[in-house]
Structure formats: C-alpha cells, structure tokens
Amino acid sequence: MAARRLRLALLDSIGRDIRACLERDPAARSALEVIVAYPGFHARQFHRVGHALWNLNIPVLPRFVSHIGRWLTGIEIHPAAVIGEGLFIDHGMGVVIGETTIIGDDCTLYQGVTLGGVSTKRTKRHPTLGNRIVVGAGAQLLGSITLGDDVKVGAGSVVIESVPSNATVIGVPGRIVAIHNPVEGTIERLPDPISDAVSRLQRALEDLTARVNAIDPNASEPDAALAEIEALLGRISEETPSSG
C-alpha cells in the first residue's frame, strides 16, 4: 500500500512538471511534446533519480546520473539540490544548480541561469529560492542568499544579497527596483540611482544642445561629439528600466 501511494505521488509530481511547461510556455502544444522535446523536463527527471540515490547515500552513482543528464540536456543539477514541485526550466542550456541549492514550488528558470556558490567550505553555500520565483536568462544568483516568494530577477542580473518577497531585481550587482503589493495589487517603484543618473545626463545634453543652437542658429544638429554622447545615452537608457 505504501509503495502504491509512493508511485501515485511520483506520477502526480511528474504530471505537475508537465502542467508547468504547458501553463508557462505558450509554445508548448501538448503533454507528449513536453515529454519528448523539453530538456528542462528531462533534466528534472534525471534529478529525481539522482536525488533519490543521493538520499540513499550511494556513492558516485548519483553524480554519474547528474552527469548523464547534463550531457543530454545541457542542464547541470547537483543530485543533492532540493527542488520543489512544478519547476519549469525554459530552453535550459547552460543552467547550473549547485549542491546546497533549495528551490521552492512553481519556480521558473530561463537559459544560462546559475545558482552558484562563492565559498569552498562544505557548508550551505548556494541560494535558497522561495515559491513562484522567475529568474531571467543569464542571471547569476551567488552565495547562501535567500529570495522570498514571488521574486522576479531580470535577465543578466548578478544577485549577491538576499531579496524580500514580491520584489523585482535587476542589474549588476542586483538592486531592487520595485516591490509588488499582492494585497492591493499595486507596484511601488523604488529609487534607481543609475536610471536617475542617465536621466540627468540626458537632460544636461538637451540643455547643452539648446545652448549650441542658440549660439549658432544654423546648427540644426549637435556636433559629432554631442551626437556620439546622445547615441550612447540612448543605448544606456534602453538597457536601464525607468524608476518612474
């Protein structure tokens, strides 16, 4: 009876993995497509086997199972990592999940994400993620930090400090730019010094351009140096979300 309940629980958990793909990836068309063509789903199932062997204190074999999963999917998950229900790894190539990582339920990781350590000691050295966290492509979460529930991490961010629940984090190093209030349904935008500095530079450039045009009415465009600065600020502005 206990074995039957265990099998049913396992099948239900695998079914939740499939539903996670179908619910969070609009490109997913069917459960069969997820089962045969989603490396994130495959990596999760390899981890199930490796984690079970790890908990039985079997030497070497859990790491070998993890290595085979990495070779087939491009996703490396240490067999000791603790993963909750409904994990969705989209695309997945280059994802690394370290040994002491803990991931809650219904989390989403995109390609190139690293949940890594910064210590060489045999201790808790990898991140702990709450529930319903979304980590953008190429983001790096480093060290024994904790992310609360419903956190969003922007693509390419490097997070080295703990983050409270309902926060949005971007940048290198990661900084909190907004906090969502789930009760009131509002979003509080926090001051972003980088975005503010770019805005000030843009206003200064506009003022300088206006002064040049006032001195020389025939100058319809700023000179080459000003044009280059304006183009650079434009690119920075596109990459830096507004704090307003």
d(CA 160, CA 176): 12
Predicted local distance difference test score (pLDDT) of residue 12? 93
CA dihedral 209, 210, 216, 219 (to 10 degrees): 60
- The more confidently predicted of residues 47 and 184 is 47
**How distant, in Å, are the alpha carbons of 22, 36, 102, 124, 125 from that of 31?**
7, 9, 27, 36, 36
Mean pLDDT to the nearest integer, 210-214: 75
- The more confidently predicted of residues 181 and 231 is 181
What the block records as the tokens of 97 is: 């999940």
For residue 244, what pLDDT band results from cuts at 50, 70 and 90?
A: very low
Q: CATH number of the domain at 2-189, please?
A: 2.160.10.10
- pTM for this model (two decimals): 0.78
**Domain extents in the chain:** 2-189, 193-239
Taking only the tens place, the pLDDT of each residue in 79-125 is 999 999 999 999 999 999 999 999 999 999 999 999 999 988 999 99
Predicted local distance difference test score (pLDDT) of residue 8? 74
Predicted local distance difference test score (pLDDT) of residue 222? 52
Predicted local distance difference test score (pLDDT) of residue 54? 97
Sign of the dihedral through C-alpha 72, 77, 82, 88: negative
8 Å CB contact between 125 and 144: yes
